[in-house]
Amino acid sequence: MIEITPNLNKNHKDPLYIQLYEYIKKEIETGRIPPGTRLPSIRKLSSYLRVSRNTVDTAYQQMMAEGYIESRPRSGLFVTELDDDFPVSQHKEYTSFDEYREYGPTAMEYTYDFRHGSIDQDSFPTTLWRRLTNQVCNGKDIYSYGERQGEIELRIELAKYLYQSRGVSCSPEQMIIGGGIQQLLGLLCLMIGLDGQSVAVENPGYDGAREIFAHYGFQVEPIEVNKNGLCLPQLYQSDCRLAYVTPSHQFPLGYTMPISKRMKLLQWAEKVNGFIIEDDYDSEFRYKGKPIPALKGIDSFDRVVYLGTFSKSLLPSIRISYMVLPEALLKKYKRFFYMYEQAVSKIHQLTLLLFMQQGHWQKHIHKMRKIYEKKHEVLRKAIKQHMGENVNVVGEDSGLHIIIEVKREETEESLIAAAKNVGVKVYSASKFWVNQKQNKNPQLLLGFGGLSEEEIDCGIQSLSNAWF
Amino acid sequence: MIEITPNLNKNHKDPLYIQLYEYIKKEIETGRIPPGTRLPSIRKLSSYLRVSRNTVDTAYQQMMAEGYIESRPRSGLFVTELDDDFPVSQHKEYTSFDEYREYGPTAMEYTYDFRHGSIDQDSFPTTLWRRLTNQVCNGKDIYSYGERQGEIELRIELAKYLYQSRGVSCSPEQMIIGGGIQQLLGLLCLMIGLDGQSVAVENPGYDGAREIFAHYGFQVEPIEVNKNGLCLPQLYQSDCRLAYVTPSHQFPLGYTMPISKRMKLLQWAEKVNGFIIEDDYDSEFRYKGKPIPALKGIDSFDRVVYLGTFSKSLLPSIRISYMVLPEALLKKYKRFFYMYEQAVSKIHQLTLLLFMQQGHWQKHIHKMRKIYEKKHEVLRKAIKQHMGENVNVVGEDSGLHIIIEVKREETEESLIAAAKNVGVKVYSASKFWVNQKQNKNPQLLLGFGGLSEEEIDCGIQSLSNAWF
DNA sequence: GGGTATTTGTCCGTATGTATG
DNA sequence: TCATACATACGGACAAATACC
């Protein structure tokens, strides 16, 4: 008979049955108690250890649940046969985790961060948003899974907004809510599937979209961009049947696609029996005149997938984007993709719903447009004043960033490093190009959404001192 | 010279410049003003229409921005060349959207809904969660994009939890946060790619996972499940190198995979040089003894991908799940998938972080385990009392649901319909099987998380009256 | 052909009614 | 109620392009 002699201690942090369980488990794992062995009966062991029968029973039960031992009723408990060529499981002692904290947001080595995608910190209506969130949390709706396409009420509100502000007429049924443009693009890739093995993308263009297409098995065809947007002859020459474009504000250059080219683009899609993906990521921030209607608004052929997001215009951290599908893709979605659970927080969705229903959204857009227009102006003036003829402003009609070309024979890396030395973070723009020309002047992206007007001016001044 | 004769009305809902803009745009789109035409100068038109020059100017500016007309400074404004075979854009009048409201959560035709995935409404610490959310909202961190893998502090906290409670020793770097199991599975499919063309899944098993695998191009191989979990001989016969399993609580039957089979499963993965995906979706709710360590905890070969979620144990609507990658996949992730933006709300992540750091999470788990154990007991008793010999309880060791087999020659649909008539919603369990046997008794899934103990008992009583 | 007057798009400051808080 | 901000509308000033002598 195998002996079981654990050191049971009633004052130990773990209860008795756990101590017993851990002890026997270890004995089995190390092989001291070989497979097939009959363990002491519950009665014997409990009286030997002077603990209650239930204590032993619980420990045995736990091991049974995990499969270490087997019960043969009215016969005994036996250690399960294990393959002994299996390496003994050895838990690494887990590290203190403190070493990872350096990655956290506490690392503030930069005074001015011209990050793209940050928003104005002071103007987000924190109090209001919190109040609405509380209102939502008090409701009964947050304890179950949400609707898979996204909350219907929110989709209704979004459809209204799209009609009134972007000229897009769609039904809430066509709309799918998702956690960011990339996630929606992924779903879209699955839906379009192998019908379109090549996808045309703008060059320069959003690298995040390119990556998605590539990962989902598409051949990515970069198409040159000029002041009017995509170069159509190149598009026709390609064998693509799918194109990803940013017509309202070409990313990153900020160009607007004129109506004539929009129509030709739609005709292309009809001709090749394909689709156009319109990423309307930052159309809200057009500073000259009224916002331009979306491409989807004149999509008589029903070939445009419209993508919109709240990351730029409201708050990037709530992660809400949406997509409007044409009929053909909607059918596919309803048939094959309806079992996908919604990935966006229902709480945030319902909060946004209230925010829109009560009219705060429209107001917020107007307010932010003014604020960013002012910042945009300040940035342009600062560049002109402090840098003058040393740089060209390449894309300046875009909403929340500006691209400058530095007239120097230096690499972008060295300029970024020089900027870092004076506490300014700027970003390389070369990743937006697919086939970078070698002898091109370095181009840098300056996002200004998260900086105040003073910070923008000081930041540019520092940059100028560092570079020129 | 082209004549422009709009009916401008100062009392119209739209301002003058919009009316003029709409009028001229239409004239161009219909072709009455042909491309290339020179438009009346701003002064001429303003004096003719008796409006300010700026009114005309603003209208022209808007059309210029959209590309309908072009300006040659100090020379005139000209209509852009357009293809005239393009169909005139015609906005459908948008529907009132009221028709869609019926889909909303207001449709409460059921008194008792045995939905799977709902949680206990009364025990979620709403006030605390709100307080923590407010705390997070007051911080400076929510105005920018979050870390792509998920907030590092949260990952640190999660790694600690996994080590202490699930026996999984991992570094926060191996962990990726995502908006639900399905989203993470999708990412995983992309990472594993064509290395593993077939994936073994449990039969019965989680249909949502099967669908993902199929969509991402995998051949899905259903493997039978017995009381010990996956049938290993079948697994060996298949040509799979990837297996998706739920060892702690087989879904939907609730079986626990014993340690011997776990080791054999790991050896299989090592032998075929493949991976095991362990979906630990509801391990927190084990009612007999301590929770069983995860398969990942004994993964000496580093071949297990661990998936966990807060949907069941905390709140489904915040949508936070996580995944622990083995070294081989982590490398791939870092190299090829690092540009994916995080899809989970940073606000929720930081709130959860506080929730865990302050020890509420552990307390909450313990509390919920008690509550659900009680409900589980009530449900089992109610079934025994009200239905007795009319049903078999098939899976009863699972956490938040029970599967019953009704000993009748009826279809699941007819039983569901009969239940609906008495205001009870139950769910078909057949979708969890891949190849359904024809002459099988109907099986139904009863989720009990969202119902109170009284509701559970009454619901079962109603069901019994309706069926027997 | 060159100088000049006119026309043109563009930019600027300002007045007014309305909505907001 | 008052103060503020905003969208809209207005006319003047400027400089470049054009037409005319």
For residue B293, what pLDDT is reported? 82
Whole-angstrom distance, CA of residue B416 vs CA of residue B400: 20
Any strand D atom closer than 7 Å to B74 CB: yes
For residue B212, what pLDDT is reported? 94
Residue A8 lies in a domain: no
Task: Please judge whether B293 and A66 are an interchain contact, meaning their C-beta atoms are less than 8 angstroms apart.
Answer: yes
Q: How close B265 comes to chain A (CA, Å)?
A: 11
Residues of B with Cβ-Cβ distance to A258 under 8 angstroms: 66-68, 80
Q: Residue B1 — very low, low, confident or very high, per pLDDT cuts 50/70/90? A: low
What is the residue range of B222's domain?
126-359
What's the mean per-residue pLDDT of chain B? 86
Burial class (CB in 10 A: 0-12, 13-18, 19+), A307: buried
Q: For strand B69-72 and strand A112-113, is the pairing parallel, antiparallel, or unpaired?
A: unpaired
A159 has pLDDT over 80? yes
Whole-angstrom distance, CA of residue A307 vs CA of residue A277: 7
Whole-angstrom distance, CA of residue A356 vs CA of residue A340: 26
Q: Which two tokens stand for residue B74?
A: 């100090």
A429 has pLDDT over 50? yes
pTM of the model: 0.85
Q: Do A305 and A187 lie in a common domain?
A: yes
Half-sphere exposure of B135 (CA within 13 A, CB side): 13
B97 has pLDDT over 70? no
Q: Do A314 and A428 lie in a common domain?
A: no
For residue A91, what pLDDT is reported? 45
Confirm or reject contact between B198 and chain A (CB < 8 A).
no
CATH number, domain containing residue B379: 3.90.1150.10
Whole-angstrom distance, CA of residue B27 vs CA of residue B79: 11
For residue B20, what pLDDT is reported? 87
Q: Do B425 and B352 lie in a common domain?
A: no
Contact A452, A142 (CB under 8 A): no
Q: Mean pLDDT across the stretch A197-226?
A: 93
Using the CA of B72, which nucleotide's C1' is the nearest one?
A: C9
Q: Do A355 and A367 lie in a common domain?
A: no
Whole-angstrom distance, CA of residue B350 vs CA of residue B318: 12
Q: Do B239 and B327 lie in a common domain?
A: yes
Residue B107 lies in a domain: no
Residue A3 lies in a domain: no
For residue B125, the SS3 value is coil
Q: Give the DSSP H/E element, type plus range, for residue B305.
A: strand B304-309
A78 has pLDDT over 70? yes
What's the mean per-residue pLDDT of chain A? 84
pLDDT tens-digit series, residues B156-174: 999 999 988 888 999 999 9
Task: Please judge whether A86 and B267 are an interchain contact, meaning their C-beta atoms are less than 8 angstroms apart.
Answer: yes
Q: Mean pLDDT across the stretch B347-359?
A: 94
Residue A258 lies in a domain: yes
Q: Mean pLDDT across the stretch A108-121?
A: 85
A439 has pLDDT over 70? no
Q: Residue A394 — very low, low, confident or very high, per pLDDT cuts 50/70/90? A: confident
Write the CB contacts of A100 (distance below 8 Å, at least 6 apart in sequence).
B152, B155, B156, B171, B172, B173
Confirm or reject contact between A137 and chain B (CB < 8 A).
yes
Q: Do B322 and B374 lie in a common domain?
A: no
Q: Which two tokens stand for residue A187?
A: 């779903």
CATH number, domain containing residue A44: 1.10.10.10
Interface mutation target, options A266, A319, A356, A431, chain B, most CBs of B under 10 Å: A319
Q: Which two tokens stand for residue A40?
A: 């002491």
Q: Do B167 and B289 lie in a common domain?
A: yes
Write the CB contacts of A302 (distance below 8 Å, at least 6 apart in sequence).
A326, A327, A328
Residue A386 lies in a domain: yes
Which of A330, A359, A388 terminates a domain? The answer is A359
Whole-angstrom distance, CA of residue A362 vs CA of residue A139: 25
pLDDT tens-digit series, residues B187-203: 999 998 765 589 999 99
Which of B322, B343, B359 terminates a domain? The answer is B359
**A401 — phi, psi (to 5°)?**
-155, 165
Q: Mean pLDDT across the stretch B70-80?
A: 84
Confirm or reject contact between A428 and chain B (CB < 8 A).
no
Write the CB contacts of A350 (distance below 8 Å, at least 6 apart in sequence).
A136, A139, A141, A142, A151, A153, A154
Burial class (CB in 10 A: 0-12, 13-18, 19+), B123: middle
Q: Do B217 and B177 lie in a common domain?
A: yes
Burial class (CB in 10 A: 0-12, 13-18, 19+), A327: exposed
Q: Minimal Cα distance from B298: which residue of A?
A: A89
pLDDT tens-digit series, residues A88-103: 444 444 445 554 444 4
Q: Looking at the 3D structure of chain A, how many domains does it have?
A: 3
Write the CB contacts of A395 (distance below 8 Å, at least 6 apart in sequence).
A250, A252, A253, A254, A255, A401, A402, A403
pLDDT tens-digit series, residues B274-318: 999 999 988 888 887 666 789 999 899 999 999 999 998 899 889
Q: Which two tokens stand for residue A320?
A: 């809400």
Long-range contacts of A409-413 (CB under 8 A, 24+ apart): A409/A441, A410/A442, A411/A442, A412/A442, A412/A443, A412/A444
CA torsion sign for A109, A113, A115, A119 is positive
Any strand D atom closer than 7 Å to B51 CB: yes
- Torsion, Cα A33 A37 A41 A45, to 10 degrees, reads -20
Q: Do A281 and A333 lie in a common domain?
A: yes
Residues of B with Cβ-Cβ distance to A343 under 8 angstroms: 178-180, 182-183, 319, 343-344
Residue whose entry in the numeric block shows the structure tokens 């908006």: B179
Contact B298, B262 (CB under 8 A): yes
Residues of A with Cβ-Cβ distance to B167 under 8 angstroms: 91
B50 has pLDDT over 60? yes
Q: Do B318 and B440 lie in a common domain?
A: no
For residue B277, the SS3 value is strand
Whole-angstrom distance, CA of residue B37 vs CA of residue B297: 76
- Torsion, Cα B339 B341 B342 B347, to 10 degrees, reads 140
Q: Which nucleotides of C are covered by protein (CB under 7 A)?
A: 7-13, 20-21
For residue B402, the SS3 value is strand
Whole-angstrom distance, CA of residue A210 vs CA of residue B450: 43
Residue A10 lies in a domain: no
Supply angle C-alpha A401, A406, A412, rounded to 5: 85
Whole-angstrom distance, CA of residue A371 vs CA of residue A452: 10
| Helical spans, DSSP H, in B324-400 | 327-336, 346-357, 360-387
A63 has pLDDT over 80? no
User: Which one of A143, A207, A290 has the shortest CB-CB distance to B118?
Assistant: A143
Q: State the helix-helix crossing angle for A412-421 and A453-467, rounded to 10 degrees.
A: 120
Query: Which of residues 368 through 427 in chain A touch B, CB cutoff 8 A?
Result: none
CATH number, domain containing residue B253: 3.40.640.10
Residue A9 lies in a domain: no
Q: How close A152 comes to chain B (CA, Å)?
A: 6
Residue B7 lies in a domain: no
Q: State the helix-helix crossing angle for B453-467 and B360-387, rounded to 10 degrees.
A: 30
For residue B60, what pLDDT is reported? 87
Q: How close B130 comes to chain A (CA, Å)?
A: 7
Q: Which two tokens stand for residue A439?
A: 């002898």
Q: Which two tokens stand for residue A251?
A: 């990313």
Task: Please judge whether B341 and A144 are an interchain contact, meaning their C-beta atoms are less than 8 angstroms apart.
Answer: no
A243 has pLDDT over 90? yes
Write the CB contacts of A3 (distance below 8 Å, at least 6 apart in sequence).
none
Q: Which two tokens stand for residue A24?
A: 């026997």
Interface contacts A/B by beta carbons within 8 Å = 304
Burial class (CB in 10 A: 0-12, 13-18, 19+), A126: middle
Q: Do A25 and A167 lie in a common domain?
A: no
Q: Mean pLDDT across the stretch B26-30?
A: 85
Which of A331, A359, A387 terminates a domain? The answer is A359
As a whole-number percent, the residues of chain B with pLDDT over 70 amount to 91
For residue B196, what pLDDT is reported? 53
Residues (365-384, chain A) with CB within 7 Å of strand D atoms: 366-367, 369-370
For residue A364, what pLDDT is reported? 84
Q: Do A156 and A272 lie in a common domain?
A: yes
